[in-house]
Chains A and B, each alone.
Chain A
Amino acid sequence: MKIPEFINKNSIMTGVAASPGIVIGQAYLVDRSKVEIFYQYLIDESFIKEEVERFKRAVQEAQSQCEEIKNDMPANLGEHTYILDTHLLILKDSMIYQATIDLIKHEKINAEWALKKAVDRAREMFEQIKDEYIRSRIKDVEYVSERIMRNLVGQVPENLAEIKDRVIIVAHDLSPADTTQIRLDMVMGFIINMGGKTSHTTIIAQALEIPAVVGLESCTRRIKTGDLIVVDGNAGHVVINPDEKTLRFYRGRQQSYESYQAEIVRCAYLPAETLDGHRLVVKANIEMFEEVAAVADHGGDGIGLYRTEFHYLSRRQLPSEEELFRDYRDVAQIIAPQPLTIRTVDLGGDRFASTLDWADEMNPALGLRAIRFSLKEKSIFKDQLRAILRSSTYGNVKVMFPMISGLGELLEAKEVLEEVRQTLSREEIEYNPNMEVGIMIEVPSAVVLADVLAGEVDFFSIGTNDLIQYSLAIDRVNERVAHMYEPLHPAVLRMVKTVVEAGHAAGITVSMCGEMAGDPICAPILLALGLDELSMPNTAVPRIKRLIRMTSMNECQEYLDTILKCRTVNEVNRFVEEVIIKRFAIHPDVVARGIRE
C-alpha cells in the first residue's frame, strides 16, 4: 500500500518488515551504555581480603537478580528459561568466579579490573572456537559479567523485567537473554537497529505475532523513551511522534488489519474447499525447525517446502549426516501424518557454506547452484540424501530436487539417490523404498520439457520466484528492473498452465511453492489453473484458505478465461484490481505485501 503524501512530513524511518501488523504506542529505549571501570592497585593485604568479599557480594546480588527474573518469567516462555539457568551457572563458573578471586589475590588489583581480565581471557578462548553458535555464547558470559560489574560499581542494572506498561521496545540489538527477561505480554512491538529476516528478534516477534521492523540502523539515536511511535510491520515503516492526521490514518489501518486478521485466523483449521466441493491442499514453507509447530496452528496441511540451507549457512563446518538426520526426523515426526517435502540444498550462486571457499560468480543466479552444485559436490549431496532417506521411516517424507533444467540432470540426481539407497540396504539401515521423488520447476527449459520430466517423477512443484526471474530475465535484486518482476505476467501464467497440464497428463501432483502461491490475488487464478497444492509462509495459510472457501471453481474459471485473453501484464493487473480484490475483500495491506514482497 502506498503511503499518503502527508505522512512524509513526519519523521519516518524505513527498515525490514520483520513481523506483520500495525501498532501505535510509547517507545522504551533499551540503553546498553557500558559501565566505566577503573584500574586500582591494592597495596595493603587487608584490602585484598575486603576486595574479594566485595566481589562475592556482587555475585551474590547478581544471583538473586537472576533468580528474580526467572521467577517472574511468563510460563509460556518455559523453553527459554534454560538461558537463565545457564547464566546462573556462569555466575559461579570457576573460569569467571574463581579466576577473578585468584586475580585479585595474586595481582593485588581491584575486583572490577580482575573481573574484566577474567572475561577477556574467556573471550580469547571463545575466539578460537570454530562453531559459530558456540563462539557466540561469549555473549552470555559478557552479559553475566556486566551484571556483576554493575553491582560492583553500584550502578543500577537495567532490568527489562521491570517494564510495567505496554511499550514498543527500541534497541540496537536484542540477545536471546534480553528477550527472555522482557515480559513479552508488555511488548506491543519491536524496532531494532540490527537484524534481518532471520535474526533472533524477528523469529521471536513472528512466533508471538508482535509487529516488528528491524535493520533500521539508527533508531536508537532518533527515538527517546516516551516518544509516540507507529510501527508498521507490513510495510517496514516507523513513524516517530506522528501528527494528528497521520495518527488517525494509522489507527484506521490498525483497526481494519486486526479485525481482518482475527477473522481469517478464526477459521484457519477448516479445509480449503470451494463452494462446489473442490479441495485445494494448502501447505507451509519452512526454513527452520522452530517454525514446525506453527504449521498446524495456521491450519497448514503439511510442509510443502522445507528449505535445507540453514544447516550449511549458519556455521563453519558442514553438517554431519547424523545431525541432518536428527533434524529431518524430528520435523517429520512432528508434522506426521501430514507430509513433509524436503528440498535438497540450494547452495551456490550467492549462498555458500562458509567452508567452501569458491570464487565469486559473475552471474550467481545463472551459476553453479542448487542441483548443479549437488551433482558437483557429490559427497555433500549423498550425506544429505542418506539423512533424508533415513528420516523417511518416521513420517510421510518426500524429496525434491531444485532447479532441474532437463532430463539428463534429473536422471543423474536419481542415479545418486539409487546409489545411496543401495548403500543403505547393504548396511541394513531402514528407509522407505517408496519415498516420493519430485522436482522443482523453476527453469524455463523445464517448463518446455515438462511432459518428458513428468514421466520420471512423482510430483512437480513450481518455484515461481526463480521461474519469473529466469523467464522474464529480471534480476530481482537489481532495483532498476525489480518493478518488472510480475507474477501475473501472461508468459508466467502460460508456463504454469503448461506445467499443470503436462503433470496431470502423466497422473502426477502439481504444486506451487514460490511467493506467488501465498499471494491472495493469485489464489483464484491458481485454483482455476488446476494446481493441486499451494505451499507458502505460515502466516499466509489462513488467508488463502479463507479465500478458497468463499469461491467456486466455476467462478474462478471465469476469471481465468478473462485473464488468459489479456495480452499485457497491465491488462491482467487492472482486471485483478477491479474485480478480484473487490470480490474477495482482500485487505489493502495484504495486497501491498502480496504484490511487492
Chain B
Amino acid sequence: MSVKPGEFEASKELTINNRLGLHARAAARLVETAEQFNAEIYLEKDGQTVDAKSVISLLTLECPPGSEVLIRARGQDSQSALEAITELIENDFGE
C-alpha cells in the first residue's frame, strides 16, 4: 500500500507499551476502535503501512512492546478517530 504523506488530515506518533505488544488481543481492540469511525486509518512502522481495520494486517506489522508507530487518518471524523486510538494505545489497550 502506498499513501502520500500530504493526504492525511491527522497523524500522530505513538509508542506501543503494553505487555505483549500488538498481539492478537490488542490488535482486535484496535480494530474494534477503528471500525467505529468512517475515516480511513493507517498504522505505519519502519516504512510499512497497514490498514488499522484489519487484524491480519496489524499482526503482520509486528509491533513488540516499545515499537514506535505513526497513526494516520483521513476522512471527516479523522480527528476523533485519532483521539480514540491514542487513548487506547496510551492506556496499554486496557490491559
Contact = CB atoms under 8 A, between A and B. Distances in A.
Query: For this complex, into which size category does the number of interface residues on chain A fall?
Result: 20 to 34
A89 interface: yes
A86 B55 contact: yes
Nearest to B22: A134
A579 interface: no
Interface in B35-56: 51, 53-56
B28 interface: yes
B64 A93 contact: no
Contact of B62 (A82, A95, A131, A140): A131
B59 interface: yes
B10 interface: no
A441 interface: no
B77 to A, nearest CB: 19
B64 A141 contact: no
A131 B62 CA distance: 7
Interface string A93-105: 1111000000000
Given A93-B56, A94-B54, A122-B56, A86 B24 contact: yes
A36 to B, nearest CB: 25
Interface string A112-145: 0000000000100110111101100100110000
A95 B24 contact: no
B60 A126 contact: yes
Interface string B1-40: 0000000000000000101100111011001100000000
A85 to B, nearest CB: 6
B75 interface: no
A83 B24 contact: yes
A133 B56 contact: no
Contacts of B54: 93-95
A129 B60 contact: yes
Interface stretch (A53-61, A266-274, A317-325, A398-406): A317-325
B61 to A, nearest CB: 9
A326 B66 CA distance: 12
A326 B65 contact: yes
A82 B28 contact: yes
B57 interface: yes
A85 B66 CA distance: 25
Given A93-B56, A327-B19, A134 B62 contact: yes
Given A82-B28, A83-B24, A317-B64, A330 B19 contact: yes
Complex A-B, nearest 6 residue pairs according to Cβ-Cβ distance, in ascending order: A95-B56, A86-B28, A125-B60, A89-B55, A326-B19, A82-B25
17 contacts: A86-B25, A86-B55, A89-B31, A89-B32, A90-B56, A95-B54, A125-B56, A128-B60, A131-B62, A134-B59, A134-B62, A141-B56, A317-B64, A320-B66, A322-B66, A323-B19, A330-B19
Interface of B: 17, 19-20, 23-25, 27-28, 31-32, 51, 53-57, 59-60, 62, 64-66
